[in-house]
Chain A
Amino acid sequence: DGGITQSPKYLFRKEGQNVTLSCEQNLNHDAMYWYRQDPGQGLRLIYYSQIVNDFQKGDIAEGYSVSREKKESFPLTVTSAQKNPTAFYLCASSQGYGNQPQHFGDGTRLSIL
């Protein structure tokens, strides 16, 4: 079955450490997205990519970085510059624009040791 796979499901970060969250999709979607979810705040867009080798900052990109070297992969790195990284991170993908829904992975929960 087609879908989006996020790994790992749980991740722990030490102070000063960069960590990378994986997101892979086999839906052949052009666009991919990363969201951060905090209790009571809904989903906030970190980065998005509409095509390979191109990506754009979302609303809260500071302290994060991404790459899009392959259509099916969109990894997110949480850098040490992100001072409050504890959150639930969701990856999504979609085909086309506006009227096409986004499909979501099951998320990665990041915590600080």
Chain B
Amino acid sequence: AQSVTQLGSHVSVSEGALVLLRCNYSSSVPPYLFWYVQYPNQGLQLLLKYTSAATLVKGINGFEAEFKKSETSFHLTKPSAHMSDAAEYFCAVSGLTGANNLFFGTGTRLTVIP
């Protein structure tokens, strides 16, 4: 079975500071991992995905994530936060078995302080 845990439902950073959003996964098969961003009253937009190629994945808007199998982690980072990064971020996992069902974490709301 697949699942993800996002540590910290709320994260606040100052503009220009490092953004670190944590995600740990559980999967009985080699996982595919995704990060999505959601702005208020909108759907989810894909930031990046890990599909067993490079362990360091670069996404849109300057975000990247590193797959660490030994730590079962897929943390999302950005070197310098912008005000426009304020949103809710979801980590998700799917496996090789069955349909392309995603299992989502409960989300982390990022606040950027000017």
Contact = CB atoms under 8 A, between A and B. Distances in A.
Nearest to A104: B43
Interface of B, secondary structure class, is: loop
B106 A107 contact: no
Contacts of A33: 101
Contacts of B49: 99, 101
Contact of A102 (B41, B51, B100, B105): B100
Interface in B59-114: 90, 94-96, 99-102, 104-107
Contacts of B41: 88, 106-107, 109
A99 B93 CA distance: 10
Contacts of A111: none
Interface residues of A, number: 30
A48 B101 contact: yes
Contacts of A4: 43
A48 B99 contact: yes
In this complex, the member of A31, A41, A58, A104 whose beta carbon has the largest number of chain B beta carbons within 10 angstroms is: A104
Interface of B: 9, 32, 34, 36, 41-46, 49, 51-52, 90, 94-96, 99-102, 104-107
23 contacts: A6-B43, A33-B101, A40-B106, A42-B90, A42-B105, A43-B90, A43-B104, A45-B101, A50-B99, A58-B101, A96-B100, A97-B99, A99-B32, A99-B51, A99-B52, A100-B100, A101-B46, A101-B49, A102-B44, A104-B36, A106-B42, A107-B43, A109-B41
